[in-house]
Amino acid sequence: MIVFDLTCAAGHRFEGWFGSGEDFASQSARGLLSCPSCGAAEIERVPSATRFNSGAAENVPAVPAAQAPQGKDPMAIAQILYARLVDQMLSSSEDVGKAFPDEARRIHYEEAPARAIRGEATPEQHAELVDEGIPVLRIPMPSRDRFS
Ligand SMILES: [Zn+2]
């Protein structure tokens, strides 16, 4: 999957997910793309620094372009954006598994190198970390094979 930043004639910016650059060109040529804000069909790619982390590309849920953010269903868009956020968090953090509560504490008290970590914590462990003022975030993981 590849993410392109797109813009319509009215200047609305949005993202489209495609299987490849050719996929985008093909859909664009056939007039299948439209702006989610105003529905305009004149869509152009805009240069951007944001690119999907290609290292996780094969794990990205297969989202048909027809359901990509240029669609009109807010829930579908939210799910895509959420999956993307999770992927970014996963690709930029170290998995410490069940050692998460201990490691989060060690980092907080500067006993371990500061870095982004992720792992597992029970609701009780999570509450203790919050009570100690340690910045932790609970996120529900989309069900995907690599998390099982
Ligand atoms: Zn527009």
Q: What is the pLDDT of residue 73?
A: 73
> Ligand 1 centroid to 62 CA: how many Å?
26
> Ligand 1 centroid to 39 CA: how many Å?
6
> Ligand 1 centroid to 57 CA: how many Å?
28
The span from the CA of 106 to the CA of 25, in Å, is 50
The span from the CA of 44 to the CA of 6, in Å, is 6
> Ligand 1 centroid to 61 CA: how many Å?
27
> Ligand 1 centroid to 82 CA: how many Å?
23
Cβ contacts of 27 within 8 Å, gap of 6 or more: 18, 33, 65
Q: Digits of tens for pLDDT over the chain (148 positions)?
A: 788 889 999 999 998 888 888 888 899 888 889 999 999 988 998 875 544 444 444 444 544 554 455 556 777 777 777 788 778 777 888 889 999 999 999 999 999 988 888 888 888 999 999 999 988 888 766 555 554 4
> Ligand 1 centroid to 47 CA: how many Å?
17
CB contact at 8 A, 36 and 70: yes
In this structure, is the dihedral angle defined by the CA atoms of residues 125, 130, 131 and 133, taken in order, positive or negative? positive
> Ligand 1 centroid to 133 CA: how many Å?
43
